[in-house]
């Protein structure tokens, strides 16, 4: 089939090695690049033959990559689904060929739980809750008084992190800030810097009095910073900014005072993934959801944390 996305095989020769087919979302953000590096490194460490493809954020490319792994008869298929719906057909084909499927990073909505074995990834709803909780600290530190007008830069439409981060944030807002916080504008920036910059510029046209930006990832936050500065405002001061991920450039922006807090979302899933892939191949039972460890950072922790950041 014509798989327009890039793909590569890696892994040394030698005996029958576990063959893992991995379909990656794309290379839309710093988080994604760190996630890809982690998967490739860990597969090499484990001595697996890794078949890897980058779908450039297109579901049809992921589906064709998964189909090619089924045809090749890989031992296990792993992928990070770009959006939550539309996977049942191809996952049923994998099941028919008895190839187990492991989800990493993002989850899927499916009526048939047997279509994947486990998810190795973060709790995005909790990340949304954590973003709202840390925004309370940011507002207090900034001495903000009165109503809070919030702009939200959403992740890719239909993607689990976008749906769930918005949900978690709204849960805390409705429970604890129904009378003083308001999301005045919300739109997807597709997790990219370009998207964040473009949409934030439009936000500032329609809502010049925004107090806070909640961006579903650092990259959209970094793009938004460029738009805020182009509008003659100070990011981190005139507009307080909370983002999710914790990539190096996010920490640098935070150390420059342009981002006020970051909710970490750990992309280094490679080792956990390879561990679970071996267990799945050996027919061992594994937990349904293997969650990643992560924490949150306020601006005054940025400089100290920077040197030890692994991604
Ligand atoms: C979250 C991951 C998201 C990141 C973005 O686990 O799916 O996709 O937050 C990335 O940076 O593009």
Strands (DSSP E) contained in 155-268 are: 181-188, 212-215, 240-245, 261-264
What's the gap in Å between 12 CA and the centre of ligand 1? 30
- Residue-level pLDDT at 310: 87
Could you tell me if the ipTM is greater than 0.90? yes
Ligand 1 atom closest to the Cα of residue 218 is: 11
- Residue-level pLDDT at 47: 97
Q: Which residue from 77, 88, 25, 71 is spatially nearest to 50, judged by alpha carbons?
A: 77
- Residue-level pLDDT at 8: 62
What's the gap in Å between 167 CA and the centre of ligand 1? 16
What's the gap in Å between 31 CA and the centre of ligand 1? 6
Q: Which two tokens stand for residue 145?
A: 């008084």
User: Residues lining ligand 1, CB < 6 A?
Assistant: 28-29, 31-32, 105-106, 122, 161, 191, 217, 219, 244-245, 265
Q: Which residue from 25, 3, 17, 35 is spatially nearest to 310, judged by alpha carbons?
A: 35
pLDDT tens digit sequence for 196-232: 999 999 999 999 999 999 999 999 999 999 999 999 9
Higher per-residue pLDDT: 55 or 8:
55
Q: Atom 6 in ligand 1: which residue has the minimum CA distance?
A: 105
pLDDT at 308 over 70: yes
pLDDT tens digit sequence for 93-114: 999 999 999 999 999 999 899 9
Q: Atom 1 in ligand 1: which residue has the minimum CA distance?
A: 161
- Residue-level pLDDT at 5: 46
pLDDT at 273 over 70: yes
pLDDT tens digit sequence for 9-35: 655 445 689 999 999 999 999 999 999
pLDDT at 307 over 50: yes
Higher per-residue pLDDT: 4 or 245:
245
- Residue-level pLDDT at 293: 86
pTM: 0.94
What's the gap in Å between 146 CA and the centre of ligand 1? 32
What's the gap in Å between 311 CA and the centre of ligand 1? 13
Residue pair 157/219 in contact (Cβ under 8 Å)? The answer is no
Residue pair 215/243 in contact (Cβ under 8 Å)? The answer is yes
Strands (DSSP E) contained in the chain are: 6-10, 19-24, 49-54, 76-79, 101-104, 118-120, 148-154, 181-188, 212-215, 240-245, 261-264, 289-290, 296-298
pLDDT at 252 over 90: yes
Average pLDDT, the chain: 95
Ligand 1 atom closest to the Cα of residue 216 is: 9
SS3 310: coil
């Amino acid at each position: 089939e014509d798989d327009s996305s890039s793909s590569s095989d890696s892994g040394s020769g030698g005996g029958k090695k576990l063959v893992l087919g991995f379909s990656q979302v794309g290379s839309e953000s710093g988080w994604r690049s760190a996630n890809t590096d982690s998967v490739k490194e860990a597969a090499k460490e484990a001595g697996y033959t890794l078949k890897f493809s980058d779908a450039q954020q297109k579901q049809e490319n992921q589906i064709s990559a998964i189909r090619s792994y089924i045809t090749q008869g890989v031992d296990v298929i792993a992928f990070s689904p770009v959006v939550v719906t539309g996977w049942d057909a191809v996952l049923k084909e994998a099941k028919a060929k008895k190839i187990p499927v492991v989800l990493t990073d993002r989850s899927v909505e499916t009526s048939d739980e047997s279509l994947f074995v486990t998810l190795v990834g973060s709790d995005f709803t909790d990340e949304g809750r954590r973003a709202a909780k840390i925004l309370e600290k940011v507002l207090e530190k900034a001495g903000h008084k009165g109503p809070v007008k919030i702009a939200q830069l959403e992740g890719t439409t239909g993607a689990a992190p976008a749906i769930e981060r918005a949900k978690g944030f709204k849960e805390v807002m409705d429970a604890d800030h129904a009378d003083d916080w308001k999301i005045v504008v919300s739109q997807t920036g597709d997790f990219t810097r370009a998207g964040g910059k473009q949409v934030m510029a439009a936000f500032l046209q329609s809502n010049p009095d925004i107090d806070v930006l909640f961006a579903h990832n650092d990259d959209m936050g970094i793009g938004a910073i460029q738009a805020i500065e182009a509008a003659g405002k100070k990011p981190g001061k005139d507009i307080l900014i909370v983002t999710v991920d914790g990539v190096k450039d996010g920490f640098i922006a935070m150390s420059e005072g342009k981002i006020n807090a970051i909710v970490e979302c750990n992309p280094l899933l490679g080792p956990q993934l390879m561990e679970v892939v071996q267990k799945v191949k050996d027919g061992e039972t594994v937990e349904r959801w293997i969650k990643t460890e992560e924490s949150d950072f306020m601006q005054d922790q940025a400089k100290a944390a920077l040197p030890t950041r692994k991604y």
